[in-house]
Structure 1
Amino acid sequence: MTSQRLFDSAAARRAVAAAALIAAALGLSGCAGIGDSALSQAFVDPARYELYDCKQLEAERKSLDTQLAKLDGLMRKAQTGVAGPVVAEVAYRNDYINLKAQSRLAEQTWRDNHCTATPEPPAAAPAATKRAGRGAR
């Protein structure tokens, strides 16, 4: 009889643990969608880029794009592990949501200020080769 109670107790503990894992997964999946919604703007001060000029906004946009790409790479790398999706959500998702909201605000301010991208400088001409005749001996 005691072995039956022990079995029931172990089964109950496993059921509770499974329910807790499912609840945690559902909770995290609810947060996952916030990065691409209007709710993500709640994480950024709307006046953050108000005093930026176009040159400053251009640098900020590039910086945010670089940071987002780096964070996205870290999240993808984390997802390859055993508990990867959970690690990616817990470790990186809040930063990703914040950066994504900042990026959207910077883009909106860029458009509102009618900014245009600075053209890239032309590529430097290749170094002139040594004078003909001097190199041949």
Structure 2
Amino acid sequence: MTDRLRHRELSRAAVLAAPIAFALSLGGCAEMSDTMTTAFADPAKYELYDCKQLETERKNLASRAAELQGLMAKADTGFAGPVVAEMAYRNDYVAVRGQSHFAEEAWQKSHCHETPPPPAAKPIAPAAADKPAKKPVKPVARSKPDTSVY
């Protein structure tokens, strides 16, 4: 009988300890270094890209990484949020960081520079800003006489 009680207590302890162990194991994933993130990306993907393609890709990767960070932060606020954030978004985030690393390397290797933004269009000033604009004269509409018979 005492063996059954001990077995039951051990199984309860295991059931309670399992989620804690799982959360601790995921906590280690959150602190991945850059060398670990590059393991999830193809190092040769951006070798044949020109500067314009690299610029577009870098902007897309930066916006995707920011989006994933926002989703993870939002998930952290909910019930079991850290677990959901790790399970749902961490793999994508790590892959995007790895791709960003290799895109940045290709950018620097190709000696690319950011494209300057286009100059702002100047507002068109009216030719006669001093003079008030004349109102257009509308022609008076004439009505036709009523020719209907009562």
CA 1:108–1:8 in 2, change beyond 3 Å: closer, same or farther? same
Report the CA distance between 1:18 and its aligned residue: 2.2
- Structure 2 counterpart of 1:63, which letter? N
Check if 1:85 corresponds to 2:82: yes
Match of 1:134 in 2: 133
CA distance in 1, matches of 2:73, 2:35: 24
CA distance in 1, matches of 2:126, 2:12: 75
CA distance in 2, matches of 1:135, 1:70: 53
Q: Secondary structure at the match of 1:25?
A: helix
Higher helix share goes to which structure?
1
Match of 1:100 in 2: 97
- What is the root-mean-square deviation in Å for CA atoms of aligned residues? 2.6
Equivalent pairs counted in the alignment come to 133
Superposed CA offset, 1:29-74 (max 9, x none) = 222222x330211111111000000010000000000101111100
Long gaps (5+) in structure 2:
137-150
Which of 59, 73, 84 is the matching residue for 2:70? 73
- Structure 1 counterpart of 2:26, which letter? L
Matches within 5 A, 1:8-87: 9=8, 11-34=9-32, 36-87=33-84
TM-score, length of structure 1 as denominator length: 0.84
CA 1:63–1:13 in 2, change beyond 3 Å: closer, same or farther? same
TM-score, length of structure 2 as denominator length: 0.78
CA 1:135–1:46 in 2, change beyond 3 Å: closer, same or farther? farther
User: Any conservation in 1 of the 2:34–2:98 contact (CA below 8 Å)?
Assistant: no
Match of 2:148 in 1: none
Instruction: Tell me which stretches of 4 or more aligned residues in structure 1 moved more than 6 Å.
Output: none
Report the CA distance between 1:129 and its aligned residue: 5.1
Long gaps (5+) in structure 1:
none
Q: Name the % identity.
A: 53
